[in-house]
Structure 1
């Protein structure tokens, strides 16, 4: 049994969107992902939100057993610095950082992102499962990262909206957030981010693995999608990256 916990809405942070988001991917020691998830879900959700940030979601990557992926949001870059300072200088991180860091091989794979449009942010529930919820929901989230030659705002966002999204909608894509690289300086240097990259990240939700597999099959075989690939590739510096993400028991995205 578990209880539902009301999600904290820090002052100044709109409860259903975060203008600035970190997409964090950790490479872990083999076999230690569940250990980190148990610690994270128990100790690092309410305590981070109490410092002024938003823990949007945390996930197992279904195609990489030693990867932990999570998202946290901020109302702005200044607020990000203040929130991160408060948490990483605070007692909770001091008490648990050695245990958390012991599970990790690398924690520097971090993208700093902003909303691609005013309506492009995550919409979260007002409550999340309480402590003791370990069973992951059946939903699967897809994080599709386009690696671009230029900032998305130059032309790619318009191409995605006008050419790709109608096809995706017809096939059954349920997009929940669209984000692009944030060019601001990383003012919290204790935590590195990937600088000098142009990415466009699209998050979609599927009811379960079967629904995602069916969507992928239909999209791959769609003639209009196949026809758009040559133009799509002209914007890219490499293959797009698709991650299939399963929410943890206490993830707000579920």
Structure 2
């Protein structure tokens, strides 16, 4: 069964606009290039310094594999990593099984407009 990962970030005070710019302009295109299924992301409604990211994976094994490869890659490490990590005060992660239908119901359709890759690159 598919799984989703929900990441919740508490950001350095006053940095949410900068963080959002880094995610939408640098991290999101990179995740899409690597074939990650980004379901949603953006400022959280519950706090001025809160942010979320939701990604979907075929199963827990794919989540672990894809994230290990992505976060170890030079594209991430030499790219937006430092700027993004410097704005995160803390984060938490939730992973849960979810049907594809429920995932699609959560999906932000505007993310498709960011995905310019001809095909997903799976390392």
Q: In the alignment, is residue 45 of structure 1 matched against residue 25 of structure 2?
A: no
Q: CA deviation at 1:127?
A: 6.1
Structure 2 unaligned segments of length 5 or more: list them. 116-123
1:78–1:52 CA distance, 2 compared to 1 (3 A): farther
> Deviation at 1:83?
0.9
Output the CA distance in 1 between the equivalents of 2:114 and 2:35. Answer: 20
Higher relative contact order (CA 8 A, sep 6+): 2
Shift in Å, 1:70: 1.4
CA distance in 1: counterparts of 2:43 and 2:110, whole angstroms: 23
Q: Deviations over 1:120-178 (max 9, x none)?
A: 222444963449xxxxxxxxxxxxxxxxxxxxxxxxxxxxxxxxxxxxxxxxxxxxxxx
Kept in 2: contact 1:51–1:86 (CA 8 A):
no
- Relative to the length of structure 1, the TM-score reads 0.40
- Is the aligned partner of 1:78 residue 2:61? yes
**RMSD value, Cα:** 2.3
Matches for 1:62-101 after TM superposition, within 5 Å:
62-95=45-78, 96-101=80-85
> Which residue of 2 is the match for residue 122 of structure 1?
104
Which residue in 2 is equivalent to 1:58?
41
1:96-115 aligned at under 5 Å gives the runs: 96-107=80-91, 109-115=92-98
Larger radius of gyration: 1
Q: Unaligned stretches of 5+ in structure 1?
A: 1-17, 132-254
| Matched pairs, number | 112
1:45 alignment partner, SS class: helix
